[in-house]
Structure 1
Amino acid sequence: MFILYIIFVVIPFLIFAYIIYKNVCKIINENKKRNEFFGYLNGDNKQYNLYENFTKKYEIEKYKYYLKVERGIQADYQTNILDDPNVDKYEIDKQNEQYLENILDQVYKDDKFLEDSEMNDPQKSWMRKLSNEDVVKLKVLLLKKAIYFLPVCNKIFQDKNKKGRLYNNYYMDDNMSKQLDGQCEEFLEEFNFILHEANCLSDKWGDTIISDAYRIYHHNKAKAEEEKKKKEELKNIRLLNYFTKMFLCNNIWFKKYIMCI
């Protein structure tokens, strides 16, 4: 009797509950993908924030090294507030945000620095004057920037390649299409600039920096997905246990059966 009850009542209920759960997850994932697309287009998603904020740090650190080798100035800019890539959101308080903006404003108003940082002959770059220790530090920062840059850049160009489907699904209109084209041009310029700065720091590093960044990025991504999969499996087990407990504990017949054991 109990086995029949399990087969014809409990198991169908668990299957039904699991189907409902999977359908709800599917709807949530579809909405999430749609929101991610608009997020990338508007530049308000986590990955874009990681890239944008680290780029700020990189520009400030690069300017610090420029002042050191070109003007003999030892600047001590506090950029460590952007160090942690594992935070869900970069909620920088207003004081620190203003501090960064003030430094960046100083950087972008330094015409000589901007002129010396243009895409000219890498052999004549001011970066060639850096000590070996400073070159290594700046190379690490540039590699990190490339790692943050790749997933955002890939997503933008993937969306550009499937513009037709995005139109058909009402994901974008003409204005959004122009905005996407503009972002692609900006990211292509940034891509070329990363290669140029890599060559400034080390001969022919521009040939390999992107492949280096891809390798590290995919390693980190695979590790994160493995951890996410384990958490999802644990979540599903807990959910099934919850439904089972809820169903069995509220069944009077089953309670009586348990009491008779």
Structure 2
Amino acid sequence: MNKQPEITAQTVKHLNQWKREIAPPNPYKSFFSIRQTNKIGRRHRKFCPRQKRLVELMSDGEHHSYLALIWHPNTREVMDQYALDIDETMSIAGMLDITHPQKWETNEAIVMTTDFVVRRTCSSNGIKTIAYSFKYWNKIYKEDQNGSAIPKNLRTWQKFAIEREYWHRREIEYRLITERDATKVMAWNLAYFASEYEAEVSENELKDFCHSFIRVWSDNPLLELQDIISAAATELKTTFQRAQTLLKKAGLHRLIPFDINSAEIRLFRPVRLLP
């Protein structure tokens, strides 16, 4: 059996302090800040207009994934860098005969975190919670001679196994996501739409714009986006700027079925709508 690292009092104190800080009615906060990490690479500490708080994202891939998750129409909340109870993860590691994540130079066990824990409205009007771990595809898979994906990097998959069991015990689905699930193009388009998240529009105004936009696009899908917006603005007797706001609100709420994966949405390009 693998020898497990030691849990220090300081680690438990930090974890318990975080639990107190996020206990209701307090808002959620990430377990750690990017300022507390020494990872190399691009990191993002940004204010989320939907959750009205700072989020801590450890890579471009996590940033793109966060945008895909938070702007999903059914999402209620995304908790980033969510800490797992260290006593339980240590127990799970022992059960699975896996060495718990640790500081190798000091043999201290570290608190495991799940990248995203998402609360989402489901069809039965209830709330479903899903836990997500993000990793770049080529860090956890490789292609065999037939082009099929096969796992690599055993240590990373061992950590996934601990997380999966942790969430399974809570009857919460656990998923792995990569940059193939949340592409740079998708993230760009969602950020474009979200720039008007706080704009106030009426339901009727948005509905009229959607009908007008889709009608103009259907007549000539090769028109540049700015020309479709102009035509819809003229029809609705409003300004181009207001019509562009309505376009972003419609895209963000999936009221117009933009293909957000094929290309960045630009005013000087045609746009593609899904069937």
Same topology, TM > 0.5: no
TM-score (norm 1): 0.22
TM-score (norm 2): 0.22
Larger radius of gyration: 1
Greater helix content:
1
Greater strand content:
2
